Amino acid sequence: MRMLFAMLVSLLSFAASAALEQGYHTYDYSLPAATGKNGQVMKVWYYKPSHYTADTPVLFVFHGRKRDADNYSAQWKALAEKYNLMLLVPEYSTQLYPGANGYNLGNVYHAVSRAEVKGLVVPKEINPKDQWSFTLADKIFADFKTREDSHATRYYAYGHGGGSQYLLRMLMFYPEAKIKMAIVANPGWYTLPSRDERWPYGLRGVDVIDTATLKRFFALPLTLMLGDHDDDFNHYLFRNAPEANRTGIDGRFERGHYYFNYARDVTKALNTPLNWQEHTVKGAEHDNFIVQLDAVQAIMGDINESK
């Protein structure tokens, strides 16, 4: 009986640590109890390149507000193969993280009403930090390293549209994330690092972010990537609200410039460095397929510099 038990434990251990299959697939990630999701399952789309080794860099891609991890992973898989990147695309489903509050705004607040879930009304209670969806990528990264032989201690991160909003706010609220470099592409609207605007358009009343946290946020290696033709105010995914419109009404390109310059002014007032870059993608509308080509070059540039 003891021998049988030992063999069973050995088999289970092997199954838990078995390497991911090469190519384009998905696996299920069981959310830890601390997330408040009681072991519910999140789908992770991935592409493991044919020349994967323990030294292959890891790239997280965050999908847009359509929660279309399948589309984003499909668009990125050829680049992952070409440049030998381990691609991970978690699917933040509406069942797990409903509405703007659950995804774009990181599940920081405990939303109850429909207006709160949609991010239109500020909820009264803040969730424990482990329940923020902003902390999930680090957890998934740690889980990945139990599945694969990987020397990576940090990962690259890219978000487009709603995914870029998620990534940008993630770094604002959770600057300790294990990200080596972040590329934020074509956000539609922003949370300004300002106490003058109410949440979610600013930080008025958001006590979990203090000046020290903002300084860490500004010091992160971040590139704001903007398509110069992403200028359609009438785009169906473009937020038309008074607070958002104060940052620009001529599309995401204008709002991105406004946000970058605003951050630069804040860092001057705080006398702290801004370790960000602004990059224009020539000819790009609100199109991940075009922008990702510039993004992967930026990632590979950092990888080559680190060698």
pLDDT tens string 260-283: 999 999 999 999 999 999 999 999
Q: Where are the domains of the chain?
A: 27-306
Question: Rounded to a whole number, what is the largest CA-CA distance in the chain?
Answer: 72
pLDDT band at 190 (very low <50, low <70, confident <90, very high): very high
Can you name the residues that pair with 26 across neighbouring β-strands? Answer: 45
pLDDT at residue number 193: 96
- List Cβ neighbours of 139 (8 Å cut-off, separation of 6 or more): 32, 35
pLDDT: which is higher, 238 or 23: 23
For the chain, state the CA radius of gyration: 20
Amino acid at site 1: M
Lowest-confidence range among 8-17, 65-74, 86-95, 101-110?
8-17
* Alpha-carbon span 234 to 213, nearest angstrom: 35
pLDDT: which is higher, 244 or 175: 175
Q: Considering the domain delimited by 27-306, tell me its CATH architecture.
A: 3-Layer(aba) Sandwich (3.40)
pLDDT band at 8 (very low <50, low <70, confident <90, very high): very low
* Alpha-carbon span 8 to 1, nearest angstrom: 11
pLDDT at residue number 241: 82
Task: Say if residue 7's pLDDT is above 50.
Answer: no
- Give the residue carrying structure tokens 């680090």: 138
Task: Say if residue 166's pLDDT is above 50.
Answer: yes
Q: What count of residues does the chain have?
A: 307
* Alpha-carbon span 234 to 215, nearest angstrom: 35
Helix (H) or strand (E) holding 306: helix 288-306
130 and 34 Cβ atoms separated by less than 8 Å: yes
pLDDT at residue number 10: 43
Task: Say if residue 14's pLDDT is above 70.
Answer: no
* Alpha-carbon span 243 to 241, nearest angstrom: 6
pLDDT at residue number 18: 64
Average pLDDT over residues 180-198: 95
Task: Say if residue 28's pLDDT is above 60.
Answer: yes
Instruction: Centre a 10 Å sphere on the Cβ of residue 66 and count the other Cβ atoms it contains.
Output: 13
